[in-house]
Amino acid sequence: MVSERQENIIKLLVKEYIKNAEPISSKFLAEKYDFGICPSALRIEFQYLIKEGYLEQPHTSSGRVPTDKAYRFFVDNLKQEGENKIEEEIEEIIKGIKDYYKIAYSISKYLSSHSSSFTIFNFGEFTIKEGFEEIFKTPEAKDSSFVLDLLEFIKEFEEKEIVPGLYIGEENPVQKTRNITLICSECNFPKQKGYISILGPKRMDYENNIKLINSLNKVLKEIV
């Protein structure tokens, strides 16, 4: 069990790590946010969260990074807030397009560029893949183990029947690719059902990418 303060620490540390791609120190978090405790007390909270499996220390860095458990906690407690302009943008992209393949292609390019991830639009008749150039702009692409995991994941993903869902690291359905997060959703595409997947590093922007998927599904339901 974690306290309300510890929950807040997890959420803010995950947000900062997603944004900065650098280990987060207790000093940095204490200076940026008011937790109602002194920096030394925050370090004790860090130690507790390490013991509970929410944080880990990479190499000899003084900072901490979130574990799969922390990402899962973050995702499970996300609240979609604020104005959603994504639906309007998707509607504008597909406006006037009659060819379903062109619609899928346009949406795939939009999703990959706005998620900085690799996307797969999979139907019985065709599969569209977009975003290699986007995912290789991420800091994780400098790590050879991430690149190998990504390539292995894409290869095996095509051979598996994936149950829609959000899979983080060790949860993902492709074994031995623990650096990857997959968001897979069934979507009602005109005339047929398909699957849209966003594939990227565990440090992906979950709030943004979940909103992208949900917005896409809402727009597609309106045009089916």
Question: Which structural domain, as residue segments, surrounds residue 42?
Answer: 4-76
Q: Match 């120190």 to its residue by tokens.
A: 25
Q: Give yes or no: residues 95 and 177 share one domain.
A: yes
pLDDT of 83 over the 70 cut: no
Q: Is the pTM of this model over 0.85?
A: yes
Q: Give yes or no: residues 19 and 127 share one domain.
A: no
Q: What average pLDDT does range 101-112 have in this prediction? A: 91
The domain boundary, picked from 26, 44, 76, lies at 76
Residues 10-53 pLDDT 10s: 999 999 999 999 999 999 999 999 998 998 999 999 999 999 99
Q: Kindly report the CATH number assigned to the domain that includes residue 128.
A: 3.30.450.40
The domain boundary, picked from 24, 42, 76, lies at 76
Q: Which long-range contacts (CB under 8 A, 24 or more apart) does 149-156 make?
A: 149/176, 149/177, 149/178, 149/179, 149/180, 150/118, 150/177, 150/179, 150/180, 150/199, 152/176, 152/177, 153/177, 153/180, 153/182, 153/199, 154/118, 154/120, 154/129, 154/199
Q: Give yes or no: residues 16 and 101 share one domain.
A: no
Domain count, the chain: 2
Higher pLDDT, 221 or 130: 130
Report helix, strand or coil for 193: strand
Residues 90-105 pLDDT 10s: 999 888 888 888 888 9
The domain boundary, picked from 23, 44, 76, lies at 76
Judged by average pLDDT, the poorest of 70-74, 97-101, 176-180 is 97-101
Q: Kindly report the CATH number assigned to the domain that includes residue 62.
A: 1.10.10.10
Report helix, strand or coil for 31: helix
Q: How far apart are CA 48 and CA 36, in angstroms?
A: 17
Q: Give yes or no: residues 174 and 101 share one domain.
A: yes
Backbone angles phi and psi of 23, in degrees to 5: -55, 140
